[in-house]
Every structure is written in C-alpha cells, then in structure tokens.
Amino acid sequence: MKTLPVDIDRDRLPQHVAFIMDGNGRWAKQRGLPRIAGHRQGARILKDLVRCCKDWGIPTLTVYAFSTENWQRPLKEVEFLMRLFERLLRKELAEMHQEGVRLQFLGDLSELPSTLQTEMTQACDITAQNQGVTFNVAVNYGSRLEITRACQALAQQVKQGILNPEDIDESTISQQLYAPNGPDPDLLIRTSGEQRLSNYLLWQLAYTELYFTDRFWPDFDRSAFHEALLAYQQRDRRFGKVATALSA
C-alpha cells in the first residue's frame, strides 16, 4: 500500500481529512494492557498515517489529539499524554521536516506545559515553509472555545472602530479561527464506533462527509483508510444542489 490503491480515483481525493482518533483506551483494555499502551500504539499509527497522506497525495490532515474536555481525565493519564506529545515532537521532528511535512497546532496552547509549548513553537517555525503534507494537530482544542474567541476578537475590532458589524461575513469569522488559511475538511473519520463530534471543528465541518468505523484508533492502518476513502468516493456531495451524474 505504498502507492495509492488502484480503485481510488486520484482526481477525487479529499484535499483535507480530519480524524477523531478515538478508542485507544478500549484497544488497550481488550488486550489487558494499561490505557497508555493504547496511546503509544495510537501514536505509531498516526506516524504512518501522515506518511500515507504524503504517499497517496492527500495534502492536508487534521487530527484531534487532546480536547478541552480531556483535562477531566485522571491526572496520570493527562501527564502521560503531555509527555508523549513532547517526546514525539523531539523524536519525529527531524524526519517529518525532511519529508516536507508542515506542522501546525490548533487550540489554546497557553495552558500546556511550557516545555511542550516551546517544542511546538519551534516545530512550527522550522517546518513553516515546507510544501509537502500540512499536518494539523488539535491540542487543548475545543470548537466552542475557538468560535467564542473569534467572536471576542471581532467584538474588540468593532469596539476599536476598525470593523463595521455589517461587514462581518463568513470569511471574516473563518479568519479568526486557529488555522485560518486551510480548506475545510472534505472527510471526517472517527474511529471506535462513537458517532459524535465531541466539540471538534463545528464550524469547519459544515459540509464535510462523515465516516464512522468500529475499529479502534490503534488498528486504523492503511487498509482501514483505504476503506474510508472508497466509501467517501461513493458519496454524492450535493452542497444543496440537485443530484450529479454520480447518483443520477
């Protein structure tokens, strides 16, 4: 599966795929392992997925790594995850940079451990000019918080007299989101059988195709991704118009 599978139409690939990487804990439990073992294996799967996007020609992926709600987990698990993010950044950055990956982080990073913030800023700076895959990682991310902050920023501009309320349109709002310049996701994939958005990209997913699979994230390999892409290419994306030739 090094190259794009032949049954996938290269011209109709999603340009941006968003993932809710769910089920690490249950994957581990199934094997009698501690939850953190699931997070470790999940990280390995993610590493190959980034490479897979590059191999198959999908230019942008966004993954949900830690939500604003995830602070409510046991402190030990939260601390493990923060250390894992930091370790992964240190270990994988050089290779990702070499492969042309452009890293960006979405979320309120100011609440993260300061050493992790430093690694993140460096990683973004180093890879900012890369032309390969854009890899967005949502950490301490909450979509309602993102939209709330956008409203606050625009209200400030109105207060300062530099913005008229009647000039606010959809793109003005988009510009205030964490990653303002990328396209919206074409496809959202959530693993582990849960069928909810869990406060993820509520604005950006307005017209995204949703795909749910029962597989746990640590089992989401290239063949599972292939299946998701096949399902995506069966969809007729009407955007409110009438059916196209695909479904007619």
Residue ranges in contact with ligand IPE by CB under 6 A: 20-26, 64-67, 70, 81, 192, 194, 196, 198
65 binds, among ligand IPE, Mg ion, none (CB under 5 to 8 A by kind): ligand IPE
- Contact stretch for Mg ion (CB under 5 A) within 15-23, 29-37, 170-178, 222-230: 15-23
Q: Is 142 exposed, middle or buried (0-12, 13-18, 19+ CB in 10 A)?
A: buried
Q: Is 22 in the site for Mg ion (CB under 5 A)?
A: yes
Q: Is 63 in the site for Mg ion (CB under 5 A)?
A: no
178 binds, among Mg ion, ligand IPE, none (CB under 5 to 8 A by kind): none
Whole-number minimum distance, CB 89 to Mg ion, in Å? 22
Whole-number minimum distance, CB 170 to ligand IPE, in Å? 26
Per annotation, catalytic residue among 22, 24, 136, 219? 22
Type of residue found at 226: H
Which of the residues 83 through 122 are near Mg ion (CB under 5 A)? none
Dump the DSSP string for 53-97.
Answer: HHHHT--EEEEEEEETTGGGS-HHHHHHHHHHHHHHHHHHHHHHH
How far apart (Å, rounded) are the C-alpha atoms in residues 81 and 101? 22
Identify which of residues 22 and 186 has a Cβ nearer to Mg ion in the complex: 22
22 has catalytic annotation: yes
- The footprint of Mg ion on this chain (CB under 5 A) covers a number of residues equal to 1
What token pair was written down for 10? 């290269």
Whole-number minimum distance, CB 157 to ligand IPE, in Å? 31
How far apart (Å, rounded) are the C-alpha atoms in residues 83 and 73? 15
How far apart (Å, rounded) are the C-alpha atoms in residues 128 and 143? 24
Neighbouring CB atoms inside 10 A of 166's CB total 6
94, 101 contact by CB (below 8 A): no
The CB-side HSE value for 134 (13 A sphere, CA atoms) comes to 20
Q: Which residue has the tokens 């799967």?
A: 45
Whole-number minimum distance, CB 247 to ligand IPE, in Å? 32
Identify which of residues 39 and 102 has a Cβ nearer to Mg ion in the complex: 39
Whole-number minimum distance, CB 22 to Mg ion, in Å? 4
48 has catalytic annotation: no
Per annotation, catalytic residue among 48, 55, 70, 221? 70
Nearest Cα neighbor of 62 from 105, 115, 12 is 105
205 DSSP assignment: T
What token pair was written down for 241? 């118009």
CA distances, 101 to each of 59, 157, 183 (Å)? 10, 34, 17
Identify which of residues 92 and 219 has a Cβ nearer to ligand IPE in the complex: 219
Identify which of residues 57 and 193 has a Cβ nearer to Mg ion in the complex: 193
- Contact stretch for Mg ion (CB under 5 A) within 22-30, 55-63, 169-177, 217-225: 22-30
The residues carrying an active-site annotation are 22, 70
* Residues that bind Mg ion in the complex, under the rule CB under 5 A: 22
